[in-house]
Homo-oligomer: A and B are copies of this chain.
Amino acid sequence: MSAIRYEAIKTCKQSGARLGRVHTPHGVIETPAFMPVGTLATVKAMSPDELKELDAHIILSNTYHLFLRPGHELIREAGGLHKFMSWDRPILTDSGGFQVFSLSEMRKISEEGVEFRSHLNGDKLFLSPETATDIQNALGSDIMMAFDECPPYPAEYDYVKQSTERTSRWAERCLQHHKRPEDQALFAIVQGGMYRDLREQSARELTSMDFPGYAIGGLSVGEPKHLMYEVLDYTVPHLPAGKPRYLMGVGSPDALVEGAIRGIDMFDCVLPTRIARNGTTMTSQGRLVVRNAKYAKDFGPLDPACSCYTCRTFSRAYIRHLFKCDEILGLRLTTWHNLHFLLELMRNVRQAIQEDRLLDFRDSFFQAYGLDKDDRGF
């Protein structure tokens, strides 16, 4: 018996997108879902209560970062990550693979695993399929990710082929090493770069091992968007219909909608929270940089169409003032708003699937947001 179960609700007749639910030990995730990122056991600037007010169903946290600080043994002693951070809804943890390849220094990759130096203090550390699995077992996340190698973009065919095959062997080792399959679901990560045959090979190898869910990794790493959509177009059909599909590291509004249309159920990205801390917000009319001088005397809300706490309560002029003065409330308010924006977008996407009109929704949403075909990668 797997720790999670995917329940298919319906397929959008217009777009082919799917509406569903992922049942986990800590509750239900309605899909397609966006997962706010809580890198270090906190979604930056937000409290867990506020995330509930925003109705986030699940958050993501990072194995690599928690391994470094405060250490997974401490979190195990605390009773697991849910208890440590006071979040009783589902948590997904990544495997650390992506961070090892993007953040750390002096990586040495072998079949055994990856030796690297901490980006914080240069300490020599080692992650492998077994250690990444141990760490996630200590954290007690509802959904764990297999330890993978994420090739850069662009990358040569031969390198990606070797790396993809190693990712399959590593996935097998994670599965073997996993100690808590009854209450933690381990997802595999399909790699293969921008090569169709390698994506298909990866999907084939991994689905043969019967994981409770599958992610698509190695996208949103610098490639043009049309290429990402192309990869989704030929990869998703190779994933089993009865299990959740997770597109890693994607959180721009257009890619969330396009991903849902291509049958993706789950997304995560630091984008909404990261740009919020620089004073950039997502609104129904497109991006708005609230720090800009033109909002100095703008006493209207960030987004007149928005119903979030920030927009109900504060003006652009006030939020701009807070940013100009480096006041913490400023980035709290923009973070709140941006998360609301994406979570509300996903609620609208689910509603549109329910009503068989996701393509119509996409067109009107993109038009208001100011995205034309070029921006969207076509």
Evaluate contact between A69 and B313: CB separation under 8 angstroms: no
Q: Say whether A314 faces chain B, with CB atoms less than 8 Å apart.
A: yes
Given the complex of chains A and B, what is the CA–CA distance between A48 and B333 in angstroms? Answer: 12
Interface residues of A in 286-305 (CB under 8 A from B): 296-297, 299
**A123 at interface, CB cutoff 8 A:** no
Q: A212: shortest Cβ distance to chain B, in Å?
A: 29
Inter-chain contacts of A329 with B (CB < 8 A)? 42, 44-47
Asked if A364 lies at the interface with its beta carbon under 8 angstroms from chain B, I say no
Residue pair B327, A44 in contact (C-beta under 8 Å): yes
**Which residues of B are found within 8 Å of A77, using beta-carbon distances?**
297, 299
Given contacts A41-B321, A313-B86, are A74 and B328 in contact (CB under 8 A)? no
In the complex, which residues of chain B have a beta carbon less than 8 angstroms from the beta carbon of A153?
none
A321-B41, A329-B46 given as contacts; is B78 within 8 A of A315 (CB)? Answer: yes
**Given known A-B contacts A78-B315, A314-B86, A317-B74, A328 and B44 have beta carbons under 8 A apart:** yes
CA A327 – CA B65 in complex, angstroms? Answer: 13
A54 lies within 8 A of chain B by Cβ? no
Chain A 76-115 interface 0/1 with B at a Cβ cutoff of 8 Å (1 = within): 0111000011100000000000000000000000000000
Produce 1/0 per residue, A32-68, CB < 8 A to B.
0000000011101111110000000000000000000
Q: Quote the shortest CB–CB distance from A336 to chain B (angstroms).
A: 9
A318 is an interface residue with CB less than 8 A from chain B = yes
Answer yes or no: A238 CB below 8 A from chain B CBs: no
Partner of A318 from the list B41, B44, B324 (CB cut-off 8 Å) is B41
A: number of interface residues (CB 8 Å)? 37
Task: Tell me if A224 is interfacial: C-beta within 8 Å of chain B.
Answer: no
Q: Does A70 have its Cβ within 8 Å of any Cβ on chain B? A: yes
Q: How far apart sit A331 and B297, CA to CA, in the bound complex (Å)? A: 30
When chains A and B are docked, how far (Å) is the Cα of A47 from the Cα of B47? Answer: 12
Q: What's the Cα separation between A289 and B280 when bound, in Å?
A: 35
Verify A318–B85 contact, CB threshold 8 A.
Answer: yes
Asked whether B325 lies within 8 Å of A69 as measured between CB atoms, the reply is yes
Contact partner of A332 among B40, B315, B321, B328, CB < 8 A? B328
Q: Is the Cβ of A78 less than 8 Å from the Cβ of B314?
A: no
Contact between chains at B328 and A45 (CB < 8 Å): yes
A8 within 8 A of B: no
Given A42-B322, A86-B314, A297-B77; A328-B327 close (CB under 8 Å): no
6 A–B contacts from the bound complex (CB under 8 Å): A40-B327, A41-B318, A42-B327, A45-B328, A79-B299, A332-B332
Contacts A40-B322, A85-B318 known; 18 new A-B pairs at CB < 8 A: A40-B321, A42-B329, A44-B327, A44-B328, A44-B329, A47-B329, A49-B313, A69-B324, A69-B325, A70-B296, A70-B321, A70-B324, A77-B297, A78-B315, A78-B318, A84-B315, A84-B317, A328-B328
Partner-B contacts on A (CB < 8 A): 40-42, 44-49, 69-70, 74, 77-79, 84-86, 296-297, 299, 309, 313-315, 317-318, 321-322, 324-325, 327-329, 331-333
